[in-house]
């Protein structure tokens, strides 16, 4: 870590006002140490303000303010997502684990514990990860909400896959209080050669701060598919910190439809040779909607592949943000890096702000990036209509086609089909 | 089947008149061809019939089976039985050819108050029709027209026509970009669809397409009007002498 930066008085005040509402949870020595350390780091950086470069396109005010802005509950008649997929559900209600609503966490190939239990144990595997990957992820840019999360997370789970998981683990986030302010922190360790699929579904809370640290050992595979819940007024700031060892695979996909403010950060460190990291997102926004994908992938090994595929469909003044960086360190030869961020603007009021970055210190790499924003292809739309498909469904077909590249990042066809169904029904509802 | 009367059309943006009083009647079961020099308004006529944006009808009428189509949306015209085979079929990345065909077919059936076709029936039908046009399974699976050669795109247009079974088919320079073999394949596809309830309007620059798709009536279009009509011989006359003589004659 560099020398302490000077934090402005205004920022310090805002940070302290926020901290006054929070208490450090108690745990074993290591857990308390991790939390206190995170608090000290948070104070040294301060919560973000409007002038911070990393928050240039997304105003952090409502994420920083002491209490959560209210978010009306959203009722819909859809069944739970992934309901036909055999999975272990772990349910959180407004950020608190609910054992009664959850399935039995016994699952072949996987150990699942609640964070509060793990942090009572003097010796626990998660000790080497909790707050550790988050701290590593702060090396280039400050991520104060993640430090705040490590310090104050009220709940969370720790999962260790030791073999091929029998079925996916689904973290279900229910939102039942209009003013809930939830902080969850999960730790995942995929052991050498093990395989785990994690699903995350639901809006979680009026305001949600979630951090997930994922450590994938050599030859391990981690699939992550997330659907962020359709509550219109919810706010979320989330972080994924991943560390990838040799020949490991990490694939993450996020679907976001609705939500007044979402900032999803992913910080991926590829530390072992021949590893693969894919991160993708499909976001649909209509009206009061800001969705920010901020990604930082570091290649620090030979022969690794990373892909970032982010697609956003925006209308009625919705705003999309993408900040994505690929850093290829010296010696990270044969890196194959790909980054695409695109938006489909369905009207003139919506906007897309993108900052794609490449920083390369190795000389034998193939990295490409692109960012586009455009309207629906009128020629294509007319072609579909001329064959009898009405304008509404024809537009939906074009929108789904636009999102397809991101959805194709999901390996499991059943999961991908569920995601596509949700997107279709969201689009159909918007047409009324 | 198709009855166009005194049709005047201008470009919306440029206030430029393109069609200046087109009169044309295509009877049920007949094949009419329209030939004419570049810029005479042939393609505009096909676009205006299909309902493409950017054109303003300033006068005249167009009816399909007695029903006025000019106020209809493109999808309504399609459901009413109109089909335009595009000169430049559009590529639509991300939309599978099969999905597209099935969505279009069922949308039309729905619009006409018919039941949707089941996935199994559809698959059977599309496979049979695709085979006739030498369209393989891979082409059916790929995104609409993406990466298709010129010939494949035109064959794909005819496949759509065969699946949708329209009453009135307009072929806009379907021969452009086709080699001899592909032209034969496409023409065979069109000829297979000829029957007494279906009419065709074939727009082309060249007589050679009309060797394969034999027209009943040939029209010559110039400067936004049909200036001469006749039998198949008229196409030969154009092929041998060009348009200059005909245009001089009617001037």
CATH number at residue B16: 3.40.50.300
Locate the chain A residue with the closest alpha carbon to B89: A383
Residues for chain B: how many in total? Answer: 251
Tell me whether residue B141 is in a domain. no
Look at residue A5 in the predicted model and tell me its pLDDT: 64
Show residues of chain B in contact with A394, CB under 8 Å. Answer: 75
- What does the alpha-carbon distance between residue A140 and residue B222 come to, in Å, rounded to a whole number? 69
Locate the chain A residue with the closest alpha carbon to B112: A388
Show residues of chain A in contact with B78, CB under 8 Å. Answer: 385-388
Does residue A76 sit at the B interface (CB-CB below 8 Å)? no
Tell me whether residue B137 is in a domain. no
Structurally, chain B folds into a number of domains equal to 1
Beta-carbon separation of B75 and A379 below 8 A: no
Tell me whether residue B204 is in a domain. yes
* Tens-place pLDDT, residues A19-75: 999 999 988 789 999 999 999 999 999 999 989 999 999 999 999 999 999 999 988
Does residue A390 sit at the B interface (CB-CB below 8 Å)? yes
Does residue A406 sit at the B interface (CB-CB below 8 Å)? no
Instruction: Indicate which of A386, A390, A402 best probes the interface with B, i.e. most B CBs within 10 Å of its own CB.
Output: A386
Tell me whether residue B177 is in a domain. yes
Does residue B221 sit at the A interface (CB-CB below 8 Å)? no
Domain hosting B25: range is: 2-92+167-250
* Beta-bridge partner residues of A213: A187, A241
Measured in angstroms, the CA of A389 and the nearest CA of chain B are apart by 5
- The mean pLDDT value of chain A amounts to 95
Show residues of chain A in contact with B46, CB under 8 Å. Answer: none
Beta-carbon separation of A397 and B100 below 8 A: yes
Encoded tokens for B100 = 């597209």
* Tens-place pLDDT, residues A101-153: 999 999 999 999 999 999 999 999 999 999 999 999 999 999 999 999 999 99
Tell me whether residue B157 is in a domain. no
User: Interface pTM (ipTM) of the complex?
Assistant: 0.95
pLDDT, mean of each 10-residue run, chain B (251 residues):
95 91 95 92 94 94 95 96 95 90 95 93 93 87 91 92 95 89 89 93 90 93 93 89 83 69
Beta-carbon separation of A385 and B103 below 8 A: no
- What does the alpha-carbon distance between residue A365 and residue B185 come to, in Å, rounded to a whole number? 47
Beta-carbon separation of B94 and A404 below 8 A: yes
DSSP category for residue A137: T
User: Which of B52, B73, B79 has its CB closest to that of A391?
Assistant: B73
Determine how many CB atoms are found less than 10 A away from the CB of residue B118.
10
Scan residues 159-188 of B and list those with Cβ closer than 8 Å to A. Answer: 160, 164
Beta-carbon separation of A386 and B51 below 8 A: yes
Look at residue A352 in the predicted model and tell me its pLDDT: 98
Show residues of chain A in contact with B91, CB under 8 Å. Answer: 380
A402 half-sphere exposure, CB direction, 13 A CA radius: 30
* Tens-place pLDDT, residues A179-219: 999 999 999 999 999 999 999 999 999 999 999 999 999 99
* CB-based contact A138:A48 (threshold 8 Å): no
* Tens-place pLDDT, residues A154-188: 999 999 999 999 999 999 999 999 999 999 999 99
Look at residue A1 in the predicted model and tell me its pLDDT: 44
Let me know the angle formed at the C-alpha of B79 by B74 and B84, rounded to the nearest 5 degrees. 55
Question: Where does residue A366 rank: exposed (0-12), middle (13-18), buried (19+ CB within 10 A)?
Answer: exposed
Tell me whether residue B98 is in a domain. no
Does residue A416 sit at the B interface (CB-CB below 8 Å)? no
Region of B170 please: left (phi>0), alpha (psi -120 to 50) or beta: beta
Show residues of chain A in contact with B52, CB under 8 Å. Answer: 382, 386
DSSP category for residue B83: E
Q: Where are the beta strands (DSSP E) in A228-346?
A: 235-244, 249-257, 261-270, 276-286, 290-299, 305-315, 319-328, 336-345
Beta-carbon separation of A385 and B78 below 8 A: yes
Look at residue B38 in the predicted model and tell me its pLDDT: 87
Biggest alpha carbon–alpha carbon distance for chain A: 69
Give, in order, the Cα–Cα distances in Å from A131 to each of A44, A96, A152, A238, A242.
Answer: 16, 20, 11, 14, 12
Does residue B137 sit at the A interface (CB-CB below 8 Å)? no
Encoded tokens for B130 = 């695709």
Placement of tokens 């759509």 in the chain = B160
Look at residue A4 in the predicted model and tell me its pLDDT: 54
């Amino acid at each position: 870590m560099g020398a302490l930066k000077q934090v402005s008085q205004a920022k310090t005040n805002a940070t302290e006002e926020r901290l006054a509402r929070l208490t450090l949870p108690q745990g074993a020595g290591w857990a308390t140490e991790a939390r206190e350390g995170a608090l000290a780091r948070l104070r040294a950086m301060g919560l973000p303000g409007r002038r911070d470069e990393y928050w240039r396109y997304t105003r952090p005010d409502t994420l920083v303010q002491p209490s959560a802005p209210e978010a009306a509950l959203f009722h819909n008649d859809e069944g739970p997502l992934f309901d036909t997929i055999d999975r272990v559900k772990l349910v959180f209600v407004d950020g608190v684990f609910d054992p009664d609503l959850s399935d039995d966490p016994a699952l072949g190939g996987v150990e699942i514990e609640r964070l509060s239990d793990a942090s009572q144990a003097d010796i626990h595997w998660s000790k080497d990860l909790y707050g550790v990957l988050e701290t590593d992820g702060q090396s280039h840019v400050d991520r104060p909400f993640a430090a705040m999360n490590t310090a104050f997370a009220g709940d969370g789970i720790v999962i260790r896959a030791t073999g091929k998981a029998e079925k996916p683990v689904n973290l279900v986030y229910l939102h039942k209080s209009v003013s809930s302010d939830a902080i969850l922190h999960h730790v995942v360790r995929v052991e050498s050669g093990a395989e785990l699929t994690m699903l995350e579904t639901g809006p979680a809370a009026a305001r949600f701060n979630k951090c997930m640290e994922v450590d994938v050992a050599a030859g391990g595979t981690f699939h992550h598919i997330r659907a962020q819940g359709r509550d219109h007024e919810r706010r979320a700031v989330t972080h994924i910190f991943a560390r990838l060892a040799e020949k490991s695979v990490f694939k993450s996909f996020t679907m976001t439809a609705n939500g007044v403010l979402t900032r999803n950060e992913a910080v991926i460190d590829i530390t072992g040779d021949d590893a693969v990291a894919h991160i993708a997102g499909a976001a649909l926004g209509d009206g009061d909607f800001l969705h920010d994908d901020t990604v930082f992938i570091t290649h620090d090994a030979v022969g690794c592949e990373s892909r970032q595929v982010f697609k956003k469909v925006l209308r009625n003044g919705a705003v999309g943000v993408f900040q994505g960086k690929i850093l290829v360190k010296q010696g990270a030869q044969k890196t194959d890096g790909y980054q695409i961020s695109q938006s489909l603007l369905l009207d003139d009021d919506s906007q897309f702000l993108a900052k794609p970055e490449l920083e390369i210190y190795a000389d034998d790499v193939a990295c490409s990036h692109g960012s586009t924003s455009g309207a629906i292809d009128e020629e294509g739309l007319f072609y579909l209509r001329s064959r009898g498909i009405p304008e509404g469904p024809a537009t939906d077909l074009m929108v789904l086609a636009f999102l397809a590249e991101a959805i194709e990042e999901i390996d499991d066809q059943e999961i991908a089909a569920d995601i596509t169904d949700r997107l279709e029904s969201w689009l159909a509802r918007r047409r009324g | 089947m198709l009855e166009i009367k005194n049709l005047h059309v201008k470009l919306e943006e440029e206030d430029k008149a393109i069609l200046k009083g087109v009169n044309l009647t295509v009877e049920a079961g007949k094949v009419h061809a329209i030939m004419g020099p570049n810029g005479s308004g042939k393609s505009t006529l096909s676009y205006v019939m299909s309902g493409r944006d950017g054109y303003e009808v300033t006068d005249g009428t167009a009816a399909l089976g007695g029903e006025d189509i000019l106020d209809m949306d493109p999808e309504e015209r399609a459901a009413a039985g109109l089909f335009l085979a595009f000169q430049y079929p559009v590529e639509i990345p991300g939309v599978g050819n099969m999905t597209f065909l099935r969505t279009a077919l069922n949308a039309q059936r729905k619009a006409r108050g018919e039941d949707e076709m089941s996935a199994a029936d559809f698959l059977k039908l599309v496979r049979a029709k695709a085979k006739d046009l030498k369209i393989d399974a891979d082409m059916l699976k790929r995104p609409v027209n993406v990466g298709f050669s010129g010939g494949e795109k035109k064959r794909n247009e005819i496949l759509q026509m065969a699946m949708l079974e329209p009453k009135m088919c307009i072929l806009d320079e379907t021969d452009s970009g086709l080699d001899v073999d592909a032209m034969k394949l496409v023409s065979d596809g069109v000829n297979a669809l000829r029957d007494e309830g279906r009419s065709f309007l074939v727009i082309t620059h060249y007589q050679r397409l009309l060797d394969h798709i034999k027209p009943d009536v040939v029209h010559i279009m110039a400067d936004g009007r049909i200036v001469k009509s006749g039998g198949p011989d008229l196409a030969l006359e154009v092929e041998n002498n060009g348009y200059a003589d005909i245009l001089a004659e009617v001037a």
